[in-house]
Chain A
Amino acid sequence: MKNHVWRPLFVVIGVVIAILLFRSVYVPSDFGSQELGYTFGYHRLSNEQEWKDFPAEYKDTEYCNECHDDKVEELRGAQHAMIPCENCHGPALSHPDDPEKLAINTSRELCIRCHAKLITPSSGREDIPGIDPVEHNKGEECSECHNPHNPSLEDM
């Protein structure tokens, strides 16, 4: 074959070799078709572990119970016992190290998530006592009258 064919061919072969070399360095060794095969399982295997190592911020009521067992026990029968501690007291993160104290959310906005009166037949919302957040004791925090753990005024 003539020179004008060979020279570009060498360039092409060189480029292909360069790409393959780059690929072998760049692509992690655990990348490829994993358990589920090519269509759905083509990925870097170590990424599964990376997701498993993602730090958890909410620690669950059982974590609160490790130190505050007196409080948790006392509130097991409370009217709001079904609400996890962290919904109002905030995610535990690394408490008690960081943060040392959790900031409690006592805002009206938190309470009216459930207790704003809506018309919702066919939903559990109907069974929750509701108020009109615009009319009901405007501007005051709910906890000024209601105990957040046992909010019914008759039982106080």
Chain B
Amino acid sequence: MKRRDFLRSTAVFVAGASVSISALDFIDPKELLAANPELRWGFLVDTYKCVGCGFCVKACKLENDIPYDANVTRTWVERYVIKKDGNVVMDCPKGARDGFTSKLIDQNASGMLAVPDDEIAQAFFVPKLCNHCTVPACVQVCPVGATYQTADGVVLVDRTWCIGCGYCIMGCPYGVRFFHPVEHVADKCTFCYHRISNGGNTACAQACPFGARKIGNLKDPNDPVAQMILNQRVGILRDEYGTKPNVYYIGLNKEVR
């Protein structure tokens, strides 16, 4: 090979390799449209309003046929007690299905912990549910395409397609997925897709007497939930994972994990 040919083909190769694969990708107009739809479901939790009654957990379990006494739930409420000495204790008996009715903090194997009233600096309740992330880790790890994100942003599981491998249960940084003991598939909060798609509210938000839970359309600037997220100081859980969650919290403490 002559030096001239060598230089020429090297230049062609480098130029060709520098064109990224995505530049050659055919752009599907449907895909572009889905990235900017009119509807994107989002959720707002006000932890000041939550009193830990657990009506949301009960309503969710009954509404979505989650075995009532099995130790699985799509949504749950955590109690955080911050003591004056800085220690934090937390519990969530039965996912708060029956609410918080005792001052004793359930420490599982270590038994019930009594915190004297005058040692409590702060105590509050934090409802948890699927964050329906914009970049859902659980969907990326599914080997069969059984879990997916709809165009309006809800992450669902196809029960006929799930093979029950459990990767998504491991992959979720928020621990919201579980193995359904009856259906034998991975299960998770659907934002009550059957209710919100038909003009209703989620079962948990509807059952909440205090308005601590609200669902809304983040793409609609006039939506009350979108407005509150825009205008108030809200936080999200585990920002560092980069999953871009869509459940926003008012009054989120650093102690909340």
Contacts and interface: CB of A to CB of B under 8 A. Distances in A.
B63 to A, nearest CB: 5
Interface residues of B, number: 63
A31 B146 CA distance: 10
B20 interface: no
Contact of B51 (A35, A54, A57, A123): A123
B101 A112 contact: yes
Interface in B44-103: 47-55, 59, 62-64, 98-103
Interface of B: 28, 30-31, 33-35, 47-55, 59, 62-64, 98-103, 117, 120-125, 135-136, 139-140, 145-151, 156, 158, 160-161, 190, 192-195, 197-198, 200-201, 203, 206-207, 209-210, 212, 251
Interface stretch (A4-12, A79-87, A94-102, A135-143): A79-87
A149 interface: no
B62 A43 contact: no
B209 A122 contact: no
A120 interface: yes
8 contacts: A37-B34, A43-B147, A43-B148, A44-B160, A51-B156, A54-B194, A84-B209, A124-B50
B125 A125 contact: yes
Interface in A40-65: 40-44, 47-48, 51-58, 60
A-B residue pairs, 10 tightest by C-beta:
A113-B99, A35-B34, A43-B148, A54-B194, A125-B51, A123-B124, A113-B53, A120-B123, A35-B151, A42-B145
A34 to B, nearest CB: 7
Given A37-B28, A41-B148, A113-B101, 8 more contacts: A35-B34, A36-B150, A47-B161, A52-B193, A54-B190, A118-B103, A119-B123, A120-B52
Contact of A52 (B55, B125, B197): B197
